[in-house]
Structure 1
Amino acid sequence: MTACTHDGRFRPWTLKPRTAPAEDPGVVTSAATTATTALRAAREVRSSPLEALLETTRRQMGADLTYVSQLGAAPDGSARRLRTVVTPLPLPVRSGDVEPLAGTLCERVVRSGDAVVVPDTGADAGAVGARARGIGAYVGVPLHRRDGSLYGTLCSLSARPDPGLRQRDAEVLRVIAGIVMELVEEDDAAAAQRQAVLDRLAALDAAGGPRIVYQPVVELRTSQPVGAEALSRFPAGTATPDAWFADAATVGAGADLELRAVRTALTGLPHLPGFVSVNLSPTTLTEPGFVRALAGVPLDRVVVEITEHAAIDDYAGLLAALAPLRAAGLRVAVDDTGAGYASLRHVLAILPDFVKLDISLVRGLDGDRSRRALAAGLVTFAEATEAAIIAEGIETAEELAVLQALGVSHGQGYHLARPAPLVVPAAR
């Protein structure tokens, strides 16, 4: 067998017999039992399910190496990629290597479209190449996608001949091949989805990142704006902002996207009254990039909002990260308060400067006694902790009047002002 080096040349490698006694493969009598055992092991371990499945298969077969190869690594079909390789031996072969197909036993599997079992390569005239590379025994089966097309091969091989290797072992491998292909196609679908997210993020970045609009936060007593919440907007016809940020997080780009939005939002500070409020996840708040994004910004004009939907596993770590920034003037708001238990935990643990009443609590509270009671309780709590209340989603004069009567100090919503891009007066 050979493997492809980084410069594209193939390097030979030889499978040598183990110095320790080989594992006793036992007698595999039930393909279904073997496959079930392998799948259970794949689900129980934290490593790749496909790797766990192949390792279980290797042990069941008593083999030295088990791997999945994918055809089509070369345009002319002359090469294959070793998608996943498992072996306890220090062999110069690894997952991702590219090998020529010609002259291999896997080529025989591909050409025949059926299982190939070679208990002893020394007794098989067509296995000269395998024998020269130190392969003593081999069993391989084709892998087919759900649509029936050929994907590649699933193979197990050993340095020593294995006289006990029979066609029924190929049947075991064939059953496991079905499970392997389920995992492979799941992985491929996830990889395609990941790449699609990365492509969308790259296109967004090339276009300048998310667009920012600002919704005024108004002091209800005077009806004067005292700040604005910066809200991210994405290309028309695409997913919601929440979905953009959630997708970015799944590919490890959540903090980058959030901080890109923050940096853009803070450019509006010179042209806005009061503070600018930005939404950030707890994880991003502890990133070094967050501190860098605030460099040169007057911190007493910045409010960070932590949403109820973001889980916080380490309040102590979060508070430690925020402490020097809060001491320098940064203020913190807990968003979506009243929407669920998590927001109340955030309020109690963080003791924010602003408590933002969720729109679900504000909507229709003029006609709902229970909503009014909860809002009144949060107002009392805020007063006791020297926090300010900001009611979100005020859409009617009746809601505004009740909030004012309850002592809510600040608010935002369509009744007060809609989100809008920042309009900067032209320089004269």
Structure 2
Amino acid sequence: MRSQRISPDPVLSFLALTPRPAERSRAVIAGITVLVGVAGLLLLPSDALRPGGAVWILLFSATTVPVAVAWFMTTRPRHFETAYVVYADVGVITVVAMYDSAFLSMPACAVLVLVSLFAAAFTDPRTLTLHVVFSCGALVVLAAVSVEQGTEIWLVLSRTLALMSMFATPFVIRMYVSYLRRQVEASQRDPLTGLLTRRGLYNRVTSQSQSVQSRSTALGVFVEIADFADAEQRFGRGSGREVLEEIAERLTTEAPADAVAARLSTSQFLCVLLVGPDGSADRAMRDLATGLESTPLRSAPVTVLTGSVVETVDPHADVGTTLHHLMTRAEATMQRRHATRASASADLRDRIAALIASGGPNIVFQPVCTTDTGAVVGYEALSRFPDGYGSPQTWFTDASTVGLRVDLELSAIHAAITASSVLPPGAFVAVNTSADTILSTDLAADLIGRGDRGRRWIVEVTEHDRIDDYDGMGVAVEMLRSAGVLISVDDVGTGYSGLRQLVELRPGVVKLDASLVRGIDTDPMRRAAAVSIVTFSREIGAVCIFEGVETAEELATAREVGADLVQGYLLGRPAPASELLVRDTPYPAP
């Protein structure tokens, strides 16, 4: 893990401004206030004012100076922004009332539009609505007075409607700003976990630090899923996503209310809390770290490592520097934690070696039947392991990590050979193995020498299994064929090797994965994929088996598309050989 310096994003920072105006915003508002006062002073030499109006305008223009100065105060009275809207409304209406002609004074109401823009940005929707209603009401009164003073009604209506339409602007801007805020919020959130990203963490902590009036302390809990890549390989990507979502949920629900949680990378998280000098939340953050490590996750048995760090926060310093220091110090803690995990591999190796020494996993057999009559023509040997350590795939993956994959697979094959002795002699038996086992052992000698004479054996190579040496694999496969062993490619349609594995291995059996068979009777896409694989199998002279058939409708569709053989819970569940019904096999094995 390497900490990364986080720098501010000017665009996102601007769009994520709090309702309190920033320094430059204050300067703009103060400047506009003074300009409106100057505009009022420019009316004094004109003849458009009624008697005594110059005095009122002079008084109002003079008030703009102290109001503008008030915008630069560090602390302002509560509801200052709302009071400013009321002050502006009263001032503008006062100036408008000083015109001798109501029709000539109507354009001055455009200043009220500026006020509405301010209200949209810095006050609540209620204040904005009241201001617009007041402004429109004032325009209606001016329009009525203008008609009474003899102005043509059509001119009055035209000017009134034009001015009123301008008041739609703040509402449109408010909706657009709301949209931008949602976009910014979404861009700063991790789409999977809902936690903040690095950028979101920076902006949120920056916002919080601005409200801190004195030096404070940042408490950080760094969380890392130490074996996340292994967990995805062992349990699948779906489980990996569940792990991340569960970590995010616990950070959200168990951390203090003011804490900020973020996902920094694929398997790293950071939870930050700013506290005062009393450090009252220190215990809560440390409890969070302890709970994350000690409480097992529901999703998968992964290793969660945490590191608690403390950093002094200067409100006048760059927040990115503080976060960088937090992550750098957490890195040192994580390095120490990783060192303690080395002993875990030794325990894993001892557990798998003990199972191999005891004779390997238990073996069950699942029937493989003809599609048209349902007659049992063979069985697939499946491994069953002690509870509490994951699925069979987990065991084989763990064995691979400690260098015992081939030994564990051989022990499973030997156990299958022994257990299959009570099965009908005409039924074939399929065993699963990896490319490494085929390349590094004399598998044909084991199957033919140890098994029943006359038994037909099938070696299944999963499409998930990576084959790096296709030349060597081709030689090993030919040796199996010459000994009478059939080659099967399992899980077709779900692996990454695609057609190359089928072409290179030239299998005698092709097995369509259960994920494509499930729902094949209602899904045109699955049906089309199945038809293409059946056609391919026929072209190369291979038998096509559909596995995972669980409903009568799926079985009927398998017949329709031309599957040769089927297996699944509908036709027989895996069971020990002694519990299977011994049935004749009226059709020859493939």
Tell me the TM-score normalised to structure 1 length.
0.55
**Residues 329 and 195 of structure 1, relative CA distance in 2, 3 Å threshold:** same
- Quote how far apart the aligned CAs of 1:288 are: 2.4
Cα distance in 2, alignment partners of residues 214 and 375 from structure 1: 25
* 2: CA distance, partners of 1:299 / 1:313: 33
Task: Quote the residue 1:394 is aligned against.
Answer: 549
Alignment partner of 1:308 is 2:463 = yes
1:186 to 322, 326, 338: 338
Structure with a larger share of its residues in strand = 1
CA gap 1:339/1:179 in 2 versus in 1, 3 angstroms:
closer
Q: Quote the Cα distance in structure 1 between the aligned partners of 2:308 and 2:333.
A: 11
From 418, 421, 424, the counterpart of 1:267: 418
Is 1:382 matched up with 2:534?
A: no
Which consecutive segments of 4 or more residues in structure 1 shift more than 4 A?
Answer: 176-185
Matched with 1:245 is 396
- SS in structure 1 of the partner of residue 577 of structure 2: coil
Looking at structure 2, the residues matched to 284 and 180 of structure 1 have their Cα atoms a distance apart, in angstroms, of: 41
1:222 is aligned, of 373, 376, 393, to 373
RMSD, matched Cα: 2.7
Conserved? CA contact 2:477–2:505, under 8 Å: no
Aligned equivalents of 2:439, 2:472: Cα separation in 1: 8
Instruction: Tell me the equivalent position of 1:290.
Output: 443
Deviation of the 1:287 alpha carbon:
1.2
Aligned partner of residue 415 in structure 1, secondary structure: coil
TM-score with structure 2 length normalisation?
0.40
Match of 1:120 in 2: none
In structure 2, the residue matched to 1:254 is 405
The corresponding residue for 2:109 is none
Pairs within 5 Å for 1:5-404: 185-189=337-341, 191-273=342-424, 274-288=427-441, 290-294=443-447, 295-297=449-451, 298=453, 301-404=456-559
CA displacement 1:369-422 (0-9 Å, x = unmatched): 111111111111111110001101000000000100111010100000000011
CA change 1:351–1:197 in 2 (3 A) is: same
Unpaired segments ≥5 residues, structure 1: 1-145, 149-175
Shift of 1:340: 3.6
Q: Per the alignment, do residues 269 and 206 of structure 1 end up closer, same or farther by CA in structure 2, a change over 3 Å counting?
A: closer
> Could you tell me which amino acid in structure 2 is paired with residue 199 of structure 1?
D
Does the 8 Å contact 2:531/2:561 carry over to 1? yes
Give the number of aligned pairs.
Answer: 253
Deviations 1:15-69 (A, max 9, x none): xxxxxxxxxxxxxxxxxxxxxxxxxxxxxxxxxxxxxxxxxxxxxxxxxxxxxxx
Contact 2:420 2:577 in 1 (8 A): no
Q: Structure 1 residues 182, 281: CA separation in 2 closer, same or farther (over 3 Å shift)?
A: same
Query: Structure 2: how far apart are the matches of 1:414 and 1:346?
Result: 28
Q: Distance in 1 between matches of 2:410 and 2:357?
A: 16
Greater share of helix: 2
How far apart in 2 are the matches of 1:248 and 1:335? 21
* Mapped pair 1:422 → 2:577: yes
CA distance in 2, matches of 1:300, 1:221: 24
For 1:306, the aligned partner's letter is V
Q: Which moved more, 1:309-318 or 1:292-301?
A: 292-301
Q: Distance in 1 between matches of 2:539 and 2:497?
A: 20
- Amino acid paired to 1:283: D
Cα distance, 1:404–1:351 mapped onto 2, change above 3 Å:
same
Q: Aligned equivalents of 1:251 and 1:198: distance in 2?
A: 6
